[in-house]
Amino acid sequence: MNFNLDFLNPYKPVLGLDIGTSSIKLVELRKTPTGVKLVNCAIHEFDFDPEDKSIDQTNQIIISIQNMLTENNIKPSQVVIAVPGQSVFTRYVKLPAVEENKINQIISYEAQQQVPFPIDEVVWDYQIIGDKNSSELNVVLVAIKAEIISKLIESVSVAKLDTDIVDVAPLALCNSIIFNQKQTISGDCTGVLEIGAKTTNFVIIEGDNEWTRSIPIAGNMITKELQKEFALPYAEAEKLKRTEGFVLMGNEENLTEREKKIGVCIDKVVKRLYAEISRSIGFYRTQSGGSEIKKLVFAGGTSQLRNLKDYFGKKLNVTTEMVEPFSQLEIDPFLGLEELASSKHMFSEAVGLALRKVHRCAIQVNLMPRKIARQREIARRKGYIILSAVVIYIIMLTLTFYSKGVSWMISARINQYVLLIEEMQGFRKQINDQKDRIGKYENQLQVYKSLFDERVFWIDLILELEKITPENIWISKMFVKTGAAEEEEQNTSRARRSRRTQGAGAGDSEGKETERERGNVLVLTGNTTGVFDDVNKYFNKLKESGFFIDDAETRIVEAEKHSTDIRKFTFELKFSKNGG
């Protein structure tokens, strides 16, 4: 049986895996006492047309990931992955400032109203953007169909990687820029243009506010235009784009016929992309009250097109620069700096993903399905429980050896006294004192044993409650009931123990009764979004768990409608003698 004990290693490496349409980028980061270290990075580019349905692309992705891990000597571990922005439903909503405990309820209502799919078929999350203390809250809401996430996690797991967080690609890009290029984004409103193969992610960062949009216009459209114009296979058209492609600036002279055709093909796509970027900026300024963009940072494979930065800089009247995804990272000396420099524009998202586990990022949404997240949490808690049990065992073992050592010393002393008594007589009182000390240690050991048994009981009970409690029921309060009859019995029990332990060490065990000695009825209060029949079924499961007795004291005290969607209930459950 495997348990997650990763919390024991604060410097455990974590992987950021960016699965793109035309390539896979992998980054391995490790937290250090002085910051964050880039331990490893790798890239694999596909040579097939991503729109070719005859190719099993999922299998190609799995094989590529496995090869990247092997070739770069990267051990399978926790990984953070991202879903592409065009697959995610993203909305920026404004909410009135409310108490923190009501925000989740309001966002849940907004999700049901805005997400264009049945809410039980999607995974969703949200993040408050900007100042949480302002009169109006800016919230980004993201949602995606659960089946898309499940397939992605399954593919990654086949490659022996354990998915820990599911991020959204443009938000990971945003976290990477905020971490690595603080000086660039400080002061002025900054745009980030990541032009990939299938999608362009456009991010605006202004102070503490972030805004993103995924645009389905990118490098593959240019490749398709060249492929059609020159009647080339996909791979050759892609090579032509990278080696000879350029963006027309309007002042070119003496172009060959071939160069003109290449320029016109690329110009068609770039103009469409510019129109969408311009429209996005206008929407941001109108709807969010944002400022005018002053800087534009370029990332992604297609950002290397000749004249591309100059074209957008001129059109948008902004200064431009390339992304620097490694600028704030400590670089492992064994990594090739020249290779990093030539491909760094490809790694922004992968770095942003890995940062989620080694740094407190600005945006922390997680689209991990709740069922999988719950399984991971149980595994994590088991790790804590096992560690606690080991520590308790070591303590008890130490106490046992200690008491045996003391007992052996006392026995030796008694033997000496017996020899002296045969010769001299008169040391009886000293011998009795030593016997009393032995009794004291035995009483202390009994107390420790009772405390250990009680802790195991409550651990078992909590684990059983986690196992049988449905997702639409949650427990708000739980305590052991102590009535007048129990108080009287408790006082009588204390008096009997006091008489038994009079003398040396008697006071050490007083007041050590466990919770179940003070009361034998557990009062459990909870809420449900289901119907009262769900409450009855849950109550019956508790009775059948073996922890409680089905008699007159085990009953449903109350079950009432608490609000429009929530029903409240209270159970009283009498403990069984063996405690399950």
The pLDDT tens digits of the residues spanning 462-472 come to 888 888 898 88
Give residue 62's pLDDT.
Answer: 93
In this structure, what DSSP letter does residue 506 have? G
Task: List, for residues 123-133, the tens digit of each pLDDT value.
Answer: 999 999 887 77
Name the residue with tokens 């820029």: 177
Indicate the angle between helix axes 428-468 and 532-544, nearest 10 degrees: 140
Give residue 418's pLDDT.
Answer: 67
555-561 and 293-299 beta bridge pairing: unpaired
**Gap between the Cα atoms of 166 and 364, Å rounded:** 10
**Gap between the Cα atoms of 191 and 298, Å rounded:** 9
Name the residue with tokens 């399978």: 76
Give residue 551's pLDDT.
Answer: 79
Name the residue with tokens 């050991």: 445
List, by residue range, all CATH 3.30.420.40 domains of the chain.
183-322
Answer yes or no: are the C-beta atoms of 203 and 173 closer than 8 Å.
Answer: yes
For the segment 104-110, the average pLDDT, to the nearest whole number, is 87
The 10 Å Cβ neighbour count of residue 129 is 18
pLDDT tier, 402 (very low <50, low <70, confident <90, very high otherwise): low
Answer yes or no: are the C-beta atoms of 149 and 368 closer than 8 Å.
Answer: yes
Task: List, for residues 226-241, the tens digit of each pLDDT value.
Answer: 999 999 999 999 999 9
Give residue 294's pLDDT.
Answer: 94
For the segment 365-386, the average pLDDT, to the nearest whole number, is 74
Q: Which two three-digit tokens encode residue 378? A: 């149980």
The residue among 473 and 372 whose pLDDT is bigger is: 473
pLDDT tier, 164 (very low <50, low <70, confident <90, very high otherwise): very high
**Gap between the Cα atoms of 21 and 199, Å rounded:** 9
Nearest Cα to Cα of residue 460 among 396, 516, 531, 398 = 516
Using the predicted structure, report yes or no on whether residue 223 has a pLDDT greater than 70.
yes
Span of 4-18, 331-345, 497-511, 533-547 with lowest mean pLDDT:
497-511
DSSP secondary structure, 325-386, as one string: TTTTSEEPTTS-HHHHHHHGGG-HHHHHHHHHHHS--S-------HHHHHHHHHHHHHHHHH
Correct CATH for 469-482+519-580 of 3.30.1360, 3.40.1350, 2.60.40, 1.10.3470: 3.30.1360
Using the predicted structure, report yes or no on whether residue 490 has a pLDDT greater than 70.
no
Task: List, for residues 259-270, the tens digit of each pLDDT value.
Answer: 999 999 999 999
The domain 183-322 having CATH identifier 3.40.190.10: the answer here is no
DSSP secondary structure, 440-471, as one string: HHHHHHHHHHHHHHHHHHHHHHHHHHHHHS-T
Answer yes or no: are the C-beta atoms of 356 and 364 closer than 8 Å.
Answer: yes
Partnered with residue 15 across adjacent β-strands are 28, 79
The contacts of residue 370 (CB under 8 Å, 6+ apart) are: 123, 471
The contacts of residue 332 (CB under 8 Å, 6+ apart) are: 37, 38, 39, 40
Task: List, for residues 271-281, the tens digit of each pLDDT value.
Answer: 999 999 999 99
**Is 39 in a helix, a strand, or coil?**
strand
**Gap between the Cα atoms of 176 and 306, Å rounded:** 25
C-alpha 53 chain-centroid distance: 34
pLDDT tier, 452 (very low <50, low <70, confident <90, very high otherwise): confident
**b/e map 513-528, b = 16+ CB within 10 Å:** beebeebbbbebebbb
**Is 298 in a helix, a strand, or coil?**
strand
Mean pLDDT, all residues of the chain:
84
Task: List, for residues 50-99, the tens digit of each pLDDT value.
Answer: 888 888 988 999 999 999 999 999 987 789 999 999 999 999 988 888 88
473-481 and 330-331 beta bridge pairing: unpaired
Answer yes or no: are the C-beta atoms of 340 and 69 closer than 8 Å.
Answer: no
For the segment 369-394, the average pLDDT, to the nearest whole number, is 69
Give residue 4's pLDDT.
Answer: 46
The contacts of residue 367 (CB under 8 Å, 6+ apart) are: 83, 88, 123, 124, 125, 142, 144, 149, 166, 167, 168
The 10 Å Cβ neighbour count of residue 140 is 20
Indicate the angle between helix axes 219-230 and 257-288, nearest 10 degrees: 150
Using the predicted structure, report yes or no on whether residue 482 has a pLDDT greater than 70.
no
**Gap between the Cα atoms of 530 and 469, Å rounded:** 13
Task: List, for residues 2-15, the tens digit of each pLDDT value.
Answer: 444 454 556 789 99
**Gap between the Cα atoms of 505 and 516, Å rounded:** 24
The residue among 191 and 384 whose pLDDT is bigger is: 191
The residue among 514 and 92 whose pLDDT is bigger is: 92
Give residue 488's pLDDT.
Answer: 46
Give residue 43's pLDDT.
Answer: 93
| Consecutive H or E run containing 23 | strand 23-32
**Gap between the Cα atoms of 290 and 189, Å rounded:** 8
In this structure, what DSSP letter does residue 246 have? B
**Gap between the Cα atoms of 407 and 435, Å rounded:** 10
Give residue 9's pLDDT.
Answer: 59
* Highest mean pLDDT pick, 169-183, 363-377, 454-468, 551-565: 169-183
Which amino acid is located at 450 in the chain?
S
Q: What's the angle, vertex CA 208, arms to CA 204 and CA 214, rounded to 5? A: 25
189-195 and 293-299 beta bridge pairing: parallel
Using the predicted structure, report yes or no on whether residue 383 has a pLDDT greater than 70.
no
Give residue 206's pLDDT.
Answer: 93
- The answer to whether the predicted template modeling score (pTM) of the entire model surpasses 0.85 is no
Give residue 189's pLDDT.
Answer: 94
In this structure, what DSSP letter does residue 576 have? P
Task: List, for residues 282-319, the tens digit of each pLDDT value.
Answer: 999 998 888 999 999 999 999 999 999 999 999 999 99
Give residue 511's pLDDT.
Answer: 45
Nearest Cα to Cα of residue 319 among 341, 348, 298 = 298
Q: What is the CA radius of gyration of the chain?
A: 33
Using the predicted structure, report yes or no on whether residue 506 has a pLDDT greater than 50.
no
Residue % of the chain over a pLDDT of 90 = 45
**Gap between the Cα atoms of 465 and 473, Å rounded:** 11
Using the predicted structure, report yes or no on whether residue 489 has a pLDDT greater than 50.
no
Largest CA distance in the chain: 126
Nearest Cα to Cα of residue 296 among 170, 196, 208, 193 = 193
